[in-house]
Amino acid sequence: MGEIPDRLSLFCKVGAPSALTRQVSSRRSPTRASSRTGSSARRDEPKSIWEVMGRQKDVQYASRDDVQIARQKQLHQLRRVIRQLAKRLPASQRDSTGCRELAAYGCGTTMHIVRLLAPALASENLLKDIDFSSGGIRDRWEAGRRDALQMIERAPWSDPIDPLEGVVVHELSARTEREVRET
């Protein structure tokens, strides 16, 4: 099974993208974040109004994650810019208290986001996001655990990446069960 390096932190969220943003944005060490969307936006065409309304939620949750990840990429890029600008200052300015405080917002780490897409469960319907039944929770937890273990086994964060890339998204496709990598 793939090793999880001690220096990496693991954050999980279930349908709360703002939690991912708050937790990861305050970190300055190499980070791996796990994002589990409410459901995959990639499914067969709906056949009833009930399924259409369920798909609307799928797309809504997937889009919300996309927005949060894009925001995280912007923030991380700004941190890299701050770090580079601070390095270019003359030593006399760089060593001042004010400059050191501002330079502390800089970052040179790479963030790996592992995005797990919740599979469609046979018992799911429009109310899936408020299904807190013990069976529904157990099924979703097991699916998430299985996907997380699969990604840990693959350890995509160990693969070589572009050194200029600050955020790398690894996604396990619910349809193909293959990893999709987005930078």
Instruction: Report the chain's terminal Cα–Cα distance, integer Å.
Output: 25
| 129-157 pLDDT tens trace | 777 888 888 888 888 888 889 899 999 99
| 43-62 pLDDT tens trace | 578 888 888 887 888 777 77
Cα dist. 101→30, 38, 97, 106, 113 in Å? Answer: 20, 39, 6, 10, 28
pTM of the model as a whole: 0.62
Q: Where are the domains of the chain?
A: 9-182
